[in-house]
Amino acid sequence: MTPPEKKEPRGGRNLPAAIATGAGLLIPAVIGILFFVEVLIGLFSVLLCLGVWEVARALRSQRFEVPVIPLGVGSVGMLVAAYVAAEEGLVLALAATSILLVAWVLIRSTLRKPSDDTGRPPLQSAAAAIFTACWVPFLVSFAVLLVQLDDGAWRLTVVVLLVVSNDTFGYIAGRLFGKHPMVPTVSPKKSWEGFAGSVIGASAVSSLFSWLVFSEPLYAGVVLALLVVVAATAGDFAESMLKRETGIKDMSNALPGHGGVMDRLDSIVWAMPAAYLGVVALGLG
């Protein structure tokens, strides 16, 4: 008797594994946000090292020689620098990481035998490596700056909730009303109707926190929500463009049930600097 075929999990994901992975990430994140920022830095360090590895692997499929070791060192360095020396430390850490990456690529290119030179020119590989450093660890490090502001733990919590609201309300509105794709050649499922749902839902959530938690004007919550939704959507498109250009579906299988780290961080990466700059510009932090 032929055994019954195993059914694929709905949505192509392993739901129990996804829940377990989400809980495993949520617990240290909550501890880090509310109590010990060092725990948050440790969690981000692991995620960023995996994230830059995923991006480097994707770029290597296009023959860019992107070095992972200096990217990992730079990722941790940017987080620590943001914690120790705020904005100035973060910028200096990015500059140091860029210098390290260029030197690493040039030295490897010099030592490589001519017969082994199958990649792109060193300048292009160095540019791709710096792009990776700017895209992933530099932007995520703004979360460390955000959590150190007044009421920083709540600020960071609100930003994460806004990213979740962006995804949730956008998905619901898109499924119910979506007819006009935003950028069909990049992400055909994202519609303007879904984007409108994200803006409305995130604005409601942000305004509620502005009123109840921070005792701030409602418009401040709306402005913050707009910044986060636009940035999160742009981040989602950025990762979709990379995956489309490199012909991959998931960045990796590093997070069971979720795919790759960048598949989960794509929206958060861009939302963090947008939220931080919005809070500072509005004089809320």
**Helices (H) then strands (E): counts for the chain:** 10, 2
* Residue 42 CA: distances (Å) to CA of 31, 107, 141: 11, 30, 12
Distance CA 83, CA 148 (A): 8
What pLDDT, on the 0 to 100 scale, is given for residue 267? 86
Distance CA 191, CA 174 (A): 6
Distance CA 129, CA 57 (A): 11
For residue 184, give both structure tokens. Answer: 């069909």
What pLDDT, on the 0 to 100 scale, is given for residue 9? 46
What pLDDT, on the 0 to 100 scale, is given for residue 196? 94
* Cα-trace Rg, the chain: 20
List per-residue pLDDT tens for the chain, 285 residues long.
Answer: 444 444 444 444 554 544 555 555 556 666 666 667 788 888 888 888 998 999 998 898 888 889 999 999 999 999 999 999 999 999 999 999 999 999 999 998 887 766 555 578 889 999 999 999 999 999 999 999 999 888 888 888 889 889 888 988 998 998 998 888 998 888 888 889 999 999 999 999 999 999 888 888 899 999 999 999 999 999 989 888 888 888 887 776 666 555 678 877 888 899 999 999 999 988 876
What pLDDT, on the 0 to 100 scale, is given for residue 285? 64
Distance CA 64, CA 69 (A): 15
What pLDDT, on the 0 to 100 scale, is given for residue 8? 43
Distance CA 12, CA 158 (A): 30
Q: Does the CA dihedral 267-273-276-279 come out positive or negative?
A: negative
* pTM exceeding 0.75: yes
Among candidates 128, 142, 125, 127, which has minimal Cα distance to 48? 142
For residue 42, give both structure tokens. Answer: 């440790």
For residue 24, give both structure tokens. Answer: 């495993």
What pLDDT, on the 0 to 100 scale, is given for residue 103? 94
What pLDDT, on the 0 to 100 scale, is given for residue 5? 44
Distance CA 224, CA 151 (A): 15
What pLDDT, on the 0 to 100 scale, is given for residue 46? 87
For residue 32, give both structure tokens. Answer: 């880090």
